[in-house]
Amino acid sequence: DVKVTQSSRYLVKRTGEKVFLECVQDMDHENMFWYRQDPGLGLRLIYFSYDVKMKEKGDIPEGYSVSREKKERFSLILESASTNQTSMYLCASSFTTAWADEQYFGPGTRLTVT
């Protein structure tokens, strides 16, 4: 079974802090994704990566950056956390770069910025 793990289930940070959210997948997947999920807004893509050190902006990249130094690990960075970044953050991975394959999601990190 594919396993996608995220570093924290719950996180509370202060405004202005730099926040790191980590995601690890154990199935040698090519693609990794970061989403945020807010009530009524569904899943919104922040960034994705199709290879090590490669990244693509999604729909809402402002205020975020990402890092993929190793194939299995994809980090989401909030450079200076703000209260409007309070949300559920979901990481996902998929196998191939040939097409938009099914995605496997991690359990999510609920981030609260105070």
Partner 1 sequence: GQQVMQIPQYQHVQEGEDFTTYCNSSTTLSNIQWYKQRPGGHPVFLIQLVKSGEVKKQKRLTFQFGEAKKNSSLHITATQTTDVGTYFCAGPRQAGTALIFGKGTTLSVSS
- From the list 80, 82, 86, 108, the residue with the least C-alpha distance to 21 is 108
Out of 19, 75, 106, 113, name the contact with partner 1 by CB under 8 A.
106
Choose the stretch contacting partner 1; rule: CB under 8 A; options: 13-21, 61-69, 70-78, 96-104.
96-104
Alpha carbons 16 and 37: distance in angstroms, whole number: 21
Sheet of strand 73-78: strand arrangement: 4-6, 19-25, 73-78, 64-70
Q: Which residue has the tokens 């945020």?
A: 36
Kindly tell me which of 72 and 101 has the beta carbon lying closer to partner 1.
Answer: 101
Among 5, 97, 112, 114, binds partner 1 (CB under 8 A): 97
Binding site for partner 1 (CB under 8 A): 30-31, 33, 40-43, 45, 48, 50, 56, 58, 90, 92, 94, 96-108
